[in-house]
Structure 1
């Protein structure tokens, strides 16, 4: 069986406070984007995990897809499988690619072996793998609070718009990104700002990580400016970086300068 774990962007990201458990509370809108990896599940005599495409750092036995299988196997009599992940979505890019792989692995195992898990149950398993994993179970626009794993319905529909993702071949670790943030409550909740027309977001909908990361990595600010220069109605860094995206009324021609980077364009 094949599945295609998609990624997400953050439309606004406000870091509101540091939690006693060391994590941070936030306000953000997670929005799914079609740039995807490929995950295959094949019956096998013993469990194995292989990968191709972009190099995945770290111990393969601790890959989130492997952990997803082990998590379900602890509660269900899962037969062994071969899992193969073809990695396309950049790593350390603020797109939630690894979290998506884990969530889609849970969904694929649930379907393949008819485990009968509900959306809520799958989300509970996903939360044990990572803060934003649970989003990818339903994989639809959501307003996210607390650690990014508590969801509220949001009436935001950007279908028809084109998105251009620009990954400048620069990975930023979550630890590095959070080291520079100063948590604070926004004067106006992000949920209210998102209700305004998208043309007004440039001056109100903000990603707090830009404040500390743009001075360290000027290329990110440069990409954001270029996206506005070629007609984006809204542009922002996604998550804790380093992907910068622009939302456009129609498909765009990528300039030679932006074309130096890893670029993906598609419909929202």
Structure 2
């Protein structure tokens, strides 16, 4: 490693994701679930800074989270050290904006940023594919977060096929004042041969053809029914948004709901925001993006 590489400060924006469609095919012998889904980056992001240091330390603003190896950022740093056979360190600063336990991939995005940031800080020279392999050992969404954009994911979510990037369509997020455990949702998921599956490949074709306005006609989320049954307050708000004619879906295992590409009047959206915030919900108004990470050195 060259000294000048070792002394850089690296800044990274780590972008959240939504699932435009999510299907669960079945459970594998290893206990993981086989999925088929289309993941999409959005402009909501955490900020991470990586500074040279003798050991790995983590400081967090915006959320009260563990700063030891219970945090995926620290685990990602340790994985990279083990992979490189390296004795190095970094002071990692995290400004948390992506809600925790929201189905928006915030932890995975932070892990992806850590792999990229420390790869640069320590001058390791690992390729994106090498980082994706390491990322897959940390979490199924980490390889996507390294890549970003619009991607078809299969396997446990780590087998990625790039799709043409969607334009910067508006996206509105709404999260209730509680979190959801992905493990808990999968434990309550019952799959039968008679299940109707979301049309993932049809949506992939629509995206390839540029007919993105048709996506809400065919989208779906196989985990949505489970989460809505467990959390009636979530279903109530989802039905309320649908009754307003808005294309709304749940992201991942939830509980965040998102409105995709809707052209609604600002005053109508402002009223929705006000009503939701009175209920204690968090909201965000943003857009789709073509990046998983944005690096500034």
Same fold at TM > 0.5: yes
Distance, in Å, in 2 between the alignment partners of 1:95 and 1:209 is 14
Contact 2:149 2:165 in 1 (8 A): no
Residue 267 (str. 1) matches residue 287 (str. 2): yes
Choose which of 199, 221, 237 in structure 1 pairs with 2:250: 237
Residue 221 (str. 1) matches residue 231 (str. 2): no
Q: Counterparts of 1:172-187 in structure 2 under 5 Å?
A: 172-183=180-191, 186=196
More helix by share: 2
Choose which of 52, 56, 73 in structure 1 pairs with 2:81: 73
Distance, in Å, in 2 between the alignment partners of 1:52 and 1:131 is 25
Question: Which residue in 1 is equivalent to 2:4?
Answer: none
Deviations 1:82-138 (A, max 9, x none): 112222211111111001100110011112222111111010110111111111111
Distance, in Å, in 2 between the alignment partners of 1:41 and 1:68 is 13
Distance, in Å, in 2 between the alignment partners of 1:225 and 1:248 is 18
For the residue of structure 2 that corresponds to 1:222, the secondary structure is helix
**Where does structure 1 lack aligned partners over 5 or more consecutive residues?**
none
For the residue of structure 2 that corresponds to 1:4, the secondary structure is strand
Contact 1:39 1:84 in 2 (8 A): yes
Choose which of 190, 193, 207 in structure 1 pairs with 2:200: 190
Distance, in Å, in 1 between the alignment partners of 2:33 and 2:198 is 19
Distance, in Å, in 2 between the alignment partners of 1:88 and 1:73 is 27
Question: Which residue in 1 is equivalent to 2:109?
Answer: 100
Distance, in Å, in 2 between the alignment partners of 1:181 and 1:91 is 22
Contact 1:14 1:186 in 2 (8 A): no
Instruction: State the TM-score, normalizing by the size of structure 1.
Output: 0.90
Question: Which residue in 1 is equivalent to 2:174?
Answer: 166
Question: Which residue in 2 is equivalent to 1:204?
Answer: 218
